Amino acid sequence: MFRIVFIGAGSVVFTRQLLHDILSYPELSGVTIALHDIDPERLQVAAALADHAVRTLGAEVTVTATTDRRKALDGADAVVNMIAVGGHRAVVTDFEVPAAAGLRQTIGDTLGVGGIFRALRTFPVLKALAEDMAEVCPDAWLLNYTNPMAMNIQYLSTVAPRLKAVGLCHSVYWTVRGLCEIIGVPYEEVDVLSAGVNHQAWILRWQHQGRDLYPQLDAAITARPDLARRVRVDMYRRLGFYPTETSEHSSEYVPWYLGHDSEIARLRIPVGDYMTIDAENLAEYQALRKAVADGDDLTGGWESDAAEYAPQVIHSLVTGTPRTIQVNTPNTGLISNLPQGAAVEVPATLDRLGVHPHHVGPLPVQLAAPNRHFLNVVDLVVAAAVEGDPRHIRHAAMADPATAAALTVEQIWALCDAMVEAHGDALPEPLRRAPLAARGGR
């Protein structure tokens, strides 16, 4: 019997969507789903939602819930990871401390100072998860949703190279769907090739019945000046290929926008946007918790076309159904002009044997350049954790494009000191130490 484990099931809104998608496949009848979270209250809410989904959809599955991770993992075939280490309080720290230092962020979960410290407090949990899986379910696939995606996947490939781990993100799907809506072409009829790094991949080919659709997008942008007032469109017009994450995300990974008041106004960049999003997520959880406690009707609450990738991977592993999705995986020559071993995002074929990433070849040079800047930060954050060297935290922040564009090196080091102090015990002990003085005289 196929066993699916949700790690971080207390992310109840996302858990409910994934459960709905899994239970909607008749071929997955009879699977076992184990929910795990370290927060008993959130786990209880997740279990209640799961029970309601099973009854509503008439699915013949077994759902269990436990705070014991190894118990949940025992015998797993697929492990879906969606942990958020530190919760809302850590998110507030990731924004308020940099803001006090003069650094603007919008989402702060992928790159930049927010992404760096989110990764450093997540890595220890990922390592422990990988160690547990090696002992109790060594053949299971780890399907990771937790950000910062590239840092997490590259870290896992470094500390647990035998782990079958891929990163899943729906940004390419929603980007292409949105572009199709702009030009009025059915999403189901288009062919797409996308590659790069997570949250900064590129739509390399986008065609309908063999016809390039970019000229239609150009015409739509010309006809609708409001479209041009977005970071993604600005990047597309200058680089020639459309980026695959929202403008809020995209503005953080380059040095061109957040440091300038005029660009924030011109491109309508919502500084600090994730603070609002995370607060709304927390409020949605509180509402669900109350609804469960009050015995309210829990019908609905999911998107029928969410098209999340984890259920598709699981369905292909069980049935052998071939399909193609986007995955994040170590670069084994898949993108030839990005570093070997770096976490890249490419298409992959799914079947009963697993996940098979596609070789893409070289990216256009103007796209590989910002991806390399992105991956420089990833390399240094992983090095900080693996080597236990607190200097590499500062080096990562110095290499980050948006941070380097906004702050001096002295300000960057001082900000990292403040972030280390603010996050405290959430960071591994070696990284809480004061960095050794830099060598001089050379």
User: Token digits for 284?
Assistant: 């949605």
| Active-site residue identified among 170, 208, 356, 358 | 170
Residue 194, Cβ density class (10 Å: 0-12 exposed, 13-18 middle, ≥19 buried)? buried
Q: Nearest 5 degrees, angle CA 54-CA 84-CA 30?
A: 25
User: Token digits for 161?
Assistant: 């190279």
- Strand pairing partners for 62? 32
> What are the phi and psi torsion angles at 268 (to 5°)?
55, 50
- What secondary structure does DSSP assign to 283-309, as a single string? HHHHHHHHHHHHT------S-TT---H
SS3 labels along 318-374: HHCCCEEEEEEEECCCCCCCCCCCCEEEEEEEEECCEEEECCCCCCCHHHHHHHHHH
Q: What does the alpha-carbon distance between residue 66 and residue 64 come to, in Å, rounded to a whole number? A: 7
Rounded to whole angstroms, the maximal C-alpha distance in the chain is: 72
Residues whose CB falls within 8 Å of the CB of residue 173, separated by 6 or more in sequence, listed in order: 307, 326
User: Are the beta carbons of 120 and 428 closer than 8 angstroms?
Assistant: yes
* DSSP element (H, E) containing 48: helix 40-57
User: Token digits for 266?
Assistant: 């011109």
170 is catalytic: yes
Q: Nearest 5 degrees, angle CA 43-CA 48-CA 49?
A: 95
Residues whose CB falls within 8 Å of the CB of residue 168, separated by 6 or more in sequence, listed in order: 143, 144, 145, 308, 309, 310, 313, 325, 326, 327, 328
> What are the phi and psi torsion angles at 256 (to 5°)?
-95, -15
Q: What does the alpha-carbon distance between residue 74 and residue 86 come to, in Å, rounded to a whole number? A: 26
> What residues act catalytically?
170
